[in-house]
Amino acid sequence: MSCIVCTNPIKIRAVTPCKHDTCHVCAFRTRALYHKKQCLVCRTENDRVLFADSESQTVAVSDDKYAIDFTSQDAKKQTLDLLLNKCPRCSTVFTTFKQLSEHVRTQHDRVFCNICANQKNQFVCELKLYNSRQLHQHQVKGDQNGFKGHPQCRFCTGKRFYSDDELFVHMRDKHEKCHICDQIDATKPQYFRNYDHLASHFHEAHYVCNVQSCLDQKFVVFRDELDLRAHQIKEHGSILGGDRKLPAFGGKLTIEKKKPDEPKDSYETKKLRLDERARHYLNYDQAKVDEFQKLVGEFGKNGNERAVLAKLRQLFVESSAEDLGLLLLELKELFPKNSSPHKFLETELKSHNREKLLDQQFPALSTAPASRPVGPWGQNQPTTGLRKAPPPKSKPVVNRGTSSNVRLTYLNNSQPKPQAPALDDQLFPKLPSVQKPKPPRVNPVNTSIGQWGQGLQERREESDFEIRKGKKGKQVLFRMGVNRN
């Protein structure tokens, strides 16, 4: 006969007043570990239960702590031994489960899963032993059908739980949940490590009331802009300038979010930046650097800005205009905006930038002297007798009168262009012409009459070649020493 709950063979039968029999392990687990007295089949409350290892139901011994009657002393011993901390390998009994865990780790190189031991209501003899690799596989992926491992908290490093229910309780108590996202889609809850991370999510994804009292209260956030507007009209009507009416449907709500102020550099940071730039421009000359720092300290005292600025220009005379402009810009940042030195330097920078722009748009013309003509042997030639450049053409004059008989002179392009006068041959002689030598023939032509002195003159008079016209054009065929007569 097998147990209706665990399907294991029944060795000791648990008999209840409701006549539903199970094995002693399942019945004792309900009373000892779950602390319940219900029937495992019909959920009926039973004050006492009988554990029988035979067909007889005569009570031989009882246990008042768990309200169990036994038909034999052996049945009682086997039942109560389920509570002992006994080693599964060597059957050594220990007082506590901690001592047993240390024993199996040091003596047998095995470990229990502490999550299962603490959360799963099982007897010690039912717990499994694992090595390190098997334990990792058990906790991460699982080792049974339907068991996918113990879930882990993504915020607490290395912390796992028995099931999703325990993980949910942990996330609810130790971390923060976005209630707006839960209203939008309850199947995908959004959790965050703490309220600071949740507040960042509120500002990025939802609509937050930026009034300081609501920020201090926390969780004052809304799903859409209309809800935020209604809240501000109801709770902070003075912020809207007395307009306590919502715009008509279709109107556009414009609520500007206050941007956090950007951090500003301190006076010490600006001063260090200015000193480092000055050292670089002065090639790290300590004497000049000390003079520069002295002039900066005197700048703006008793209205001496212009005099000190002239000394600074003289000190940085070797620097470019761009470098000097950057130096003055950083010097201006040392003074408050409404102070006299700040306004003076701002005016000087505008003038400096205007001069720089004019130099870029209108560069200065070249002042190099005109070159004189050079003769054939390098001597400077007199300018007399040279061809003069033609005079510049006069601009056309447009008659703005109303007469139609006036003809515009600049439209007449039929006049011949003036020809340049001829150059003087004495001043500009022609270069001597160079005749290139002809290369000699490799094999000289033999003009003799031949070895035998006859027949060659007659062959010269004959036609030694003929011209034929084919597909590729004209072809020339030569006869080499063949007489066809």
The residues spanned by each domain of the chain are 13-83, 88-159, 194-240, 268-360
Per-residue pLDDT at 386: 47
Q: For residue 407, is pLDDT > 90?
A: no
- Residue-wise pLDDT for 141-168, tens only, equals 888 777 888 999 999 988 999 999 999 9
- Residue-wise pLDDT for 50-87, tens only, equals 999 888 888 889 998 999 999 999 999 999 999 999 99
How large is the average pLDDT for residues 161-184?
A: 91
Structure-model confidence comparison of residues 477 and 195, the more confident one: 195
Structure-model confidence comparison of residues 261 and 312, the more confident one: 312
Per-residue pLDDT at 103: 94
**Mean of the per-residue pLDDT values for the chain?**
77
Choice among 130-139, 166-175, 334-343 with the minimum mean pLDDT: 334-343
How large a percentage of the chain has pLDDT more than 70?
A: 71
Per-residue pLDDT at 251: 43
Q: For residue 9, is pLDDT > 80?
A: yes
How large is the average pLDDT for residues 439-461?
A: 56
- Highest average pLDDT, of 232-241, 382-391, 437-446, 456-465, comes from 232-241
pLDDT class of 321 with cuts at 50, 70, 90 = confident
Structure-model confidence comparison of residues 273 and 457, the more confident one: 273
pLDDT class of 281 with cuts at 50, 70, 90 = confident
Choice among 247-251, 285-289, 303-307, 362-366 with the minimum mean pLDDT: 247-251
- Residue-wise pLDDT for 200-245, tens only, equals 999 999 999 988 888 888 889 999 999 998 998 888 877 665 444 5
Q: For residue 35, is pLDDT > 50?
A: yes
Structure pTM? 0.45
How large a percentage of the chain has pLDDT more than 90?
A: 24
Q: For residue 372, is pLDDT > 60?
A: no
Per-residue pLDDT at 358: 65
Residues 395 and 417: their CA atoms lie apart, in Å, by: 17
pLDDT class of 26 with cuts at 50, 70, 90 = very high
pLDDT class of 319 with cuts at 50, 70, 90 = confident
